[in-house]
Amino acid sequence: MKNKRHEHILKAYANSRFPRMICENLPDTMLMFEEIDIYAINFLKGKRIILSVHDIISKEIKDYISVNINNQQIDQSDRKEMLIFYRLAILTVGILEQYFFSG
């Protein structure tokens, strides 16, 4: 691992729980977030992982999540929790991509 900050971000994602908003409003994204979790845990354990594509979170999924986060009918605390989790997921994906696609 290149630096401790990367390790701390990966650990934070691996130890976080999925926000309620994912289960209730975005159940079709759960598999993607779980996949990111598996990649982060395996990387932290030093296991060999193979990322199949560069875009773990596609632009379409990012747009879909953004629309749901900005939905005014969603409870403010749920939106805030989802936004923090989503930002952590984006950071985690960025770190994984940096290690596996920077060469």
Cβ atoms 14, 25 nearer than 8 A:
no
Number of domains in the chain: 1
Condensed to tens digits (0 to 9), the pLDDT of residues 36-78 reads: 999 999 999 988 777 766 678 889 999 999 999 998 888 899 9
Quick one: which of 62, 60, 63 has its CA closest to 93? 62
Cα separation, 41 vs 43, in Å, equals: 5
pLDDT of residue 14: 95
The pTM of the whole model exceeds 0.95 = no
CA-only gyration radius of the chain, Å: 14
Identify the domain containing residue 27 by its residue range: 4-101
Using the predicted structure, report yes or no on whether residue 5 has a pLDDT greater than 60: yes
How many angstroms separate the Cα of 89 from the Cα of each of 9, 13, 20, 73, 86? Answer: 9, 7, 15, 23, 5
